[in-house]
């Protein structure tokens, strides 16, 4: 009976995602959420974890974006000790320690079938339990990477809080009505800390000018850094890390793990950094804004300037 329901919902979902190519993406996201919630009803794993794992997997596989709905599970995980034999019988896979299962009741555990993939992932998690900590443990054992676990957990928190999987709103970091100036300085050489290139855009403004989050996200880091001074780091749902440095102050009560919204004030412009905690005034006050992308293996900086000019145009 439960299997039938799974099959039914996967069919509806696949149909919907196909139609969605011609329709608005909103519909597709809505049908995805409905699907995750059905998975929750069947497996007791909160829907936002399915959504978060799915989102994370999409983020790290951006190059093959032909919207294969499923999660790419590596052969070694799916087939266990038989990664080269690739058996299709779920009982054999299970016997050899693979996580591949048959979710759509066709007798085959197919790593390219979304139904089988999501069902398999839920069964993998269930071995560890249902609590937040259990799911974290399951994710750690799956990815063997703290950054992956922490990103998925943050996505889950955002999805749960807002009951959505899409966060398209952005904001320019400096509110309207304040004086500021910036130009493209990405990649420039900089003086402090040896041979490092400038990984970000400097937005010059007066001391105390509000600094806002450019995205929805979760605060990943907050505190002092020798180069960045008082700085804050925010992870968004696209595996991007937003870095705000040289702050004069932090918004009151803001702390690691908090959700922030696009346009929410997180601190103010200052000139802290380039020395031990509290060092300030070694350069004119400005916000250093950096963007970093994580692909599941490593994180690298990319030029935020084009994003800033776009957000500036629609600055709320």
Q: How far is the CB of 263 from Zn ion (least distance, A)?
A: 22
CB of 194 to Zn ion, least distance (A): 16
By the 8 A CB rule, do 47 and 37 touch?
A: yes
Smallest separation, CB 274 to Zn ion (Å): 11
> What is the closest distance, in whole angstroms, from the C-beta atom of residue 175 to Zn ion in the complex?
20
Nearest distance from residue 202's CB to Zn ion, in Å? 4
Asked if residue 242 binds Zn ion (CB under 5 A), the reply is: no
Closer CB to Zn ion, 128 or 207, in the complex = 207
Nearer to Zn ion, 202 or 236 (CB): 202
**Closest distance to Zn ion from the beta carbon of 199 (Å):** 8
Closer residue to Zn ion in complex, CB, 124/172: 172
Question: With respect to Zn ion, which residue has the nearer C-beta, 136 or 288?
Answer: 288
DSSP-assigned letter for residue 35: H
For 163-181, letters b (16+ CB in 10 Å) and e give eebbbeebbbbbbeeeebe
Q: Smaller CB distance to Zn ion: residue 80 or 229?
A: 229
Nearer to Zn ion, 116 or 202 (CB): 202
| Residue 244 φ/ψ, nearest 5 degrees | -120, 115
User: For the window 187-206, what string marks contact with Zn ion as x by the rule CB under 5 A?
Assistant: -------------x-x----
**Nearest C-alpha neighbor of 120 from the set 73, 158, 68, 86:** 73
Residue whose beta carbon is closest to Zn ion:
288
User: What whole-number distance in Å separates Cα of residue 102 and Cα of residue 99?
Assistant: 10
Cα separation of 88 and 280, whole Å? 63
Which residues are paired to 180 by β-bridges? 205
Phi, psi of 287, deg, nearest 5 = -95, 125
Residues in 252-311 at the binding interface with Zn ion, rule: CB under 5 A: 288
Site residue total, Zn ion (CB under 5 A): 3
Quote the least distance from Cβ 307 to Zn ion, whole Å.
Answer: 15
Q: CB under 8 Å, gap of 24 or more: what pairs does 303-307 form? A: 303/184, 303/186, 303/187, 303/201, 304/186, 304/200, 304/201, 305/184, 305/186, 305/201, 307/170, 307/214
200/263 with CB nearer Zn ion: 200
Cβ-proximal residues to 113 (8 Å cutoff; 6+ apart), any chain: 70, 103, 104
User: What is the binding site for Zn ion (CB under 5 A)?
Assistant: 200, 202, 288
């Amino acid at each position: 009976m439960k299997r039938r329901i799974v099959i039914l919902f996967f069919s509806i979902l696949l149909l919907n995602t196909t139609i969605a190519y011609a329709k608005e993406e909103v519909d597709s996201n809505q049908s995805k959420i409905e699907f995750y919630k059905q998975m929750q009803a069947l497996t007791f794993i909160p829907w936002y974890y399915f959504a978060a794992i799915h989102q994370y997997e999409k983020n790290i596989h951006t190059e093959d974006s032909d919207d294969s709905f499923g999660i790419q599970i590596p052969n070694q995980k799916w087939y266990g000790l038989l990664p080269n034999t690739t058996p299709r019988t779920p009982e054999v896979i299970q016997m050899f320690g693979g996580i591949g299962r048959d979710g759509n009741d066709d007798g085959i555990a197919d790593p390219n079938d979304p139904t089988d993939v999501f069902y398999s992932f839920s069964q993998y998690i269930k071995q560890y339990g249902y609590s937040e900590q259990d799911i974290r443990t399951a994710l750690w054992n799956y990815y063997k990477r703290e950054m992956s676990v922490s990103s998925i957990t943050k996505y889950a928190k955002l999805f749960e809080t807002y009951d959505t999987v899409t966060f398209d709103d952005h904001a320019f970091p400096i509110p309207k009505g304040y004086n500021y100036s910036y130009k493209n300085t990405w990649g420039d050489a900089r003086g402090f800390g040896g041979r490092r290139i400038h990984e970000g855009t400097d937005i010059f403004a007066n001391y105390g000018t509000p600094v806002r989050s450019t995205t929805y996200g979760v605060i990943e880091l907050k505190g002092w850094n020798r180069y960045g001074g008082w700085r804050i780091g925010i992870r968004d749902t696209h595996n991007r890390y937003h870095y705000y440095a040289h702050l004069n102050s932090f918004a009151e009560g803001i702390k690691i793990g908090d959700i922030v919204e696009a346009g929410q004030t997180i601190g103010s412009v200052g000139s802290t950094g380039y020395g031990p905690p509290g060092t300030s005034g070694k350069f004119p006050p400005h916000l250093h804004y950096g963007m970093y992308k994580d692909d599941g293996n490593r994180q690298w900086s990319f030029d935020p300037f084009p994003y800033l000019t776009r957000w500036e145009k629609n600055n709320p």
